[in-house]
Structure 1
C-alpha cells in the first residue's frame, strides 16, 4: 500500500521539478548583467522572470537561496516582498474605487474618523516644545495614495520621526491598535505640499479593512490572489512551503550575513494581527508576474477581471504636481524627478529620456527593502520581476538599472 506521506512528498517534488523546468533564460543579457553580483559574493542568489506580449520569454534562477545549507535559488523560491506589497495594496484600493466606495478628493477622516484630529508639526517653540497646528486641509485619500498626505516612516532625524520610532504603528498587534497609534502622530508637513516615503500604504490597508469589512489578508486573498492564481503569495509562509523560503541577508563587515532579530527579519510563521499594506507580503517570481501582467492587460488575466481598464490607467498615471516632481524627493533607488514621477503606490515613467531610464513611456514600477524589483512596460508590452533577498546599505548592487538596460537590449532586433 502506498504511504500517503510518500505520495505527497513525491507530488511536491514533481511540482518543484516542473516549476524549475520553466527556467528558460532566453534573454542571456539579463543573466550576464546580474550573475556577476552572485559570483562576487554581493548577492546570494537572484531570480528573474519576464513576459513579453503575455508570453514567458525569460526565467532564470542563479546562486543560492541559503548560503549556509547550499540550497539553490529556484524559480519557485518564496521571498519577502516588503514594499512590493504597496502596488498590491493599490490594487486592493482600486477595487473599492471601482465599487464607488471612495474618491481621491475624499478626506481621509471620511473613512477613518479616528484620524480627524491630525495636526501638522510646525517646529519647536522657544521652550523647546513642539508647535502643532491643524492642517490647512485634512489629508485626502488621494494624497495617501501618493505619499503626499504628511505621514512619515520614522527613518529620518527630528521630532516627527522620533515620535514614529517611539510609537510605531507597524509594531501594533491589531489594526485597531495601529490606527490608535497613527492618530497620536504628527504630520510632517502640510498635506499635498511634499512627497515623503511613509506609512501611507499601511493606512490604505486600514481603509480597505474599514470599507470592505474584511481583514486585509482575507480581502487580498479573495479579490486578488485567488482570482489571479497567485498560489504562493500572502502574509505567511505555511509549514509545507517553508523549505522554499529564501534566507535574508545584509552586507556587514565586507560580506553577506544573516541579520539579527528585528522588524525586517520576521519568521512569517503566522498571519499578523496587523497586516502591513506597506510591506507585509511574501511572494514568488511567477506569482508577482501574474499580478503585473494583470495590470499590463488592463485589469484582467485569464478571464479574471480584477479592475476596470480606466482604473488601471488611473493607477499607472502620475498624480503629483510638477513642483513635487522637481522637489528632490525620493527613497533609495526611487528618486522622484521630472519624467520619473508617482502614481498610486508606485513610480510612473512619464518621459524615459528625461528620466534617463531604459524603460518605455508609461512604465509602472516599485521595489522592496530586500532588493526585489519589478516593472510593467505598456509601451513594449513587457513585465519583469527580479527577486533577491539582501537588505540595502553599503555596496548595494545596482540590479534595477542594469536589468532594465539588459531587457532593452534583449528587445532590440
Structure 2
C-alpha cells in the first residue's frame, strides 16, 4: 500500500491539491480492520483539520444497496415475493407504456402497452424498463407531452419518474430510476415515511449512529462531513459543489464498515442467507440482451474498476451491483466473486464473500469518474486486493 499512500499524500498536499481528502479501508469477515488510511483535510478552509479517518460521506449511488436490503427484508416478512408484480404497492407503474423510435421523424417516438409485468426482481436488477430519464427518446417524449396532472398528495418520486419504459420488463438492462420507485414501495408496505423505515429496518438494528438521509438535522453527522468539492477547468478543486451532490444517504466510514462486514460474514444480522446470496448472484444468463448491455456498459461502473470488455474479464449484475464472474479486472485486480458499486462523489465499495474481504475508497469530489481521482481509486483497489485478497 506504500505506493498508494505516497501518491495520495502528494495529491492531497495543499501545494498540489488534486484532491481535498480521501480514505481507504480494508476489512475482513471477522470485522477486523486490515487497513485504514486517511490523507488530506476535512475542508478547504485555511485552518482545516486533517481528515478524520472516520469522517462521514455522501454515499450517492454507492448507498443504493442499503435500500435493496430493506426491500429484501419486506420479502422475508412475506409482504411481497421477489417474483411478484409490484403493482399492488406501485399501481402507477402499471400505466406506463414502452417508448420506441418512430418512422415518423416529426414525432420521433411511438408508445405501446407492455406485455410483461414488472416484478420486484426486475426493480432490484434494473431490468424493469425504467430508464434514467435523460435518454434521447424520453427527452423527446417530455418535450412533446403536456405536464402530467397528479392527485394532491402524490409523492415526488411518482411525479418525477412517471416516464415511459425503455423496453419490456425483464428483457434488457438500464441503470435508471427503479431505485427511486422502491422508496414509495417501502413506505407503502411499511406504513411509515421512507427515512423512518430505513431507521427501523437497517440503521437501528445495526447500531449505525452516524448514518442518515437527513444529515442536516444531526450535527454529530453533518459536523463530520468531508467537504464535497468540484473539479475546476484548471485542474484544481474548489467550492461550491452543486446541491444535487449533497443529497441522500450520509454514512460514517465505520458505519459503512459495519454493513460490509455483515454481508461478507458467516451470518448476516440483516438478511437470511438466501437473500444475501441474491446480492452476490448473477442476475442475467448467457447471451441475454440484459447481459450484453451490462458487458458493453462504459458509464456506470467500468471506469471505476478499470473494466474493459475485450480484456477477458467477465462481469454480470446482481440485486446490489456489478459482479466480477470470471478472471480479474485487469487494472484494479478485483477477483471473481467480487461485488462492487460506486457513487457520484467518487467513492466505491467492493465485497467478496469467498475471500472474506471488503474494501472502501471514499472521497467527495465531483464529477463522477474524475480522471485524477480514478488514478488513486484504481491504485487503492489494486494494492488492496493484491495485498489482502
Alignment match of 2:252 (pick from 284, 295, 318): 284
How does the TM-score come out when normalised to structure 1?
0.80
Paired residue for 1:332?
300
The number of residue pairs the alignment matches comes to 364
How does the TM-score come out when normalised to structure 2?
0.84
1:236 to 2:214 alignment:
yes
Alignment match of 2:34 (pick from 39, 50, 57): 57
Q: Which runs of 5+ in 2 are unaligned?
A: none
Is the 2:100–2:111 Cα contact (8 Å) retained in structure 1? yes
Paired residue for 2:231?
251
Is the 1:44–1:63 Cα contact (8 Å) retained in structure 2? yes
The structure-2 alpha-carbon separation of the partners of 1:396 and 1:204, relative to structure 1 and needing over 3 Å to count, comes to farther
CA distance in 1, matches of 2:164, 2:83: 21
Alignment match of 1:389 (pick from 335, 360, 364): 364
Q: Aligned to 2:213, what secondary structure does the other structure show?
A: coil
1:68 to 2:50 alignment:
no
Where do residues 7-406 of structure 1 align in structure 2 (5 Å cutoff)?
Answer: 28=2, 30-32=4-6, 34-39=8-13, 40-54=16-30, 55-69=32-46, 70-124=48-102, 126=104, 127-128=106-107, 130-156=109-135, 158-161=136-139, 176-183=155-162, 185-237=163-215, 238-254=218-234, 255-259=236-240, 261-266=242-247, 280-300=248-268, 305-322=269-286, 323=288, 324-327=290-293, 328-334=296-302, 339-353=314-328, 358-391=333-366, 392=368, 395-398=371-374, 399-406=376-383
The structure-2 alpha-carbon separation of the partners of 1:192 and 1:407, relative to structure 1 and needing over 3 Å to count, comes to same
Shift of 1:32: 4.0
CA distance in 1, matches of 2:331, 2:316: 13
Q: Which has the higher mean CA deviation after the structures are superposed, 86-95 or 329-338?
A: 329-338
Q: Which runs of 5+ in 1 are unaligned?
A: 1-26, 267-279
Is the 1:197–1:331 Cα contact (8 Å) retained in structure 2? no
Query: What is the RMSD computed on CA atoms of the aligned residues?
Result: 2.8
The structure-2 alpha-carbon separation of the partners of 1:317 and 1:298, relative to structure 1 and needing over 3 Å to count, comes to farther
The structure-2 alpha-carbon separation of the partners of 1:182 and 1:125, relative to structure 1 and needing over 3 Å to count, comes to same
The structure-2 alpha-carbon separation of the partners of 1:404 and 1:30, relative to structure 1 and needing over 3 Å to count, comes to same
